[in-house]
Structure formats: C-alpha cells, structure tokens
Amino acid sequence: MDAAEAAILDKGFAATSIEELIVEVGITKSGFFYHFPDKGALAKALLERYLTREEGIFDQIFDRARELHDDPLHAFLIGLKLLAEMMEDLPNGHPGCLVASFCYQENMFNRDVRDLNREGVLRWRKRFRAHLDEIADRYPPRCAVNLDDLADMLPALADGGIIVSKVVRDPKVLPAQIMLFREFVRTIFLGTDRN
C-alpha cells in the first residue's frame, strides 16, 4: 500500500502499473491479485486508508487545539496554526493528496471509488462546517459568508498549496496558504480588530 501510494502520488494512477508494484514490494502477480482483484480494488483500499489517516490527523490536531483553548474560534485558529506547523515540518513538503489525484483521473475509476472520493470530501466539509457553526454561534460573521463554502476552502487551499509547492519547489507554500486561511477566518469572525 505504501509503495502504491507513493507511486500514484509521484506519477498518477494511470502511469502506475501492477507490474512495477509487485517488483517494488517483492511479491508475485498472484500475490497481488490475492489481495486485490484488480487495480480498481487497490485504488479503493488506498483511498479508504488515506481518508482514515487524514481524519485521524484532523482529530488529533483539532482535539489538541480544543484542549488548549475553550473558545471555539480561538481553538480553531490554534488548530490551523498546528496544521500549518505540521506541514512545515515535512522535510520535502507534502507528498500529495490521493483525493485530488483520483479526482484528476476520475474517468479511470469505478463508481465505488468515485463515490468514496466524494464522501471523503463531504466528510471534510461536515467536519470543518461543525467548527464554523460553533464559531458563528458565538461570533456572528462580519460579512456575508456561506459556511459550507468556507469549510470547503480549507481542503481546496490545501490541495492547491500542495500543487503550488511542488511546481515552485518550495515546501513553505502550503503552510503559508493555511496561515492565510487562518487570517481570513479570523477576519470573517472578528473583523480587523484583533482583540
């Protein structure tokens, strides 16, 4: 799974062959097909693992932020700072996002994989929307904002930040984008007054 994920993030799903994966991990073709009936089943298993891992990371970061501050806005801002710091600590930048990779090559996947990808994105929306709803209850937004759109903005920024980081070969781009989102959230709910 690790070898497959690394290859897909490096070259894309279409360019990653079963043959190269079995050579990389030292198994036979029948060994591969014992675990995965086809390449699509591998994609689904990889995506399930990726989404579970991302949910765990978000749980850890935003639960820790909530431990550090009871106020929902300040806890969310702390969580975003922790997320940016985690991204900054990756020595070569973020390796990439399977959700985005699979979306770019969506025509290669069956309905189950496409549906799982969609469900993953919608779970992220629900997660961040819950934070934003709690914040909005205490700090009504200072401008008209659709909270679903704002919730979608974080994963959109993260994927965009990963792409720009790779293109310009600067791993600091992604954490900088997260910090800009953090400032945007602060401004929406507090205005320009930082008190």
pLDDT tens digit string along 112-152? Answer: 988 998 999 999 999 999 999 999 999 999 999 999 999 99
Quote the CA–CA distance of 47 and 100 in Å, as a whole number: 11
C-alpha span between 4 and 21 (Å, rounded): 6
pTM: 0.88
Domains annotated for the chain, with CATH where assigned, are 48-190 (1.10.357.10)
CB atoms within 10 A of CB 90: 13
Helix or strand or coil: residue 51? helix
Tens digits of residue pLDDT in 69-98: 999 999 999 999 999 999 998 767 688 888
Percentage of the chain lying above the pLDDT 90 cut: 71
Residue 192, Cβ density class (10 Å: 0-12 exposed, 13-18 middle, ≥19 buried): exposed
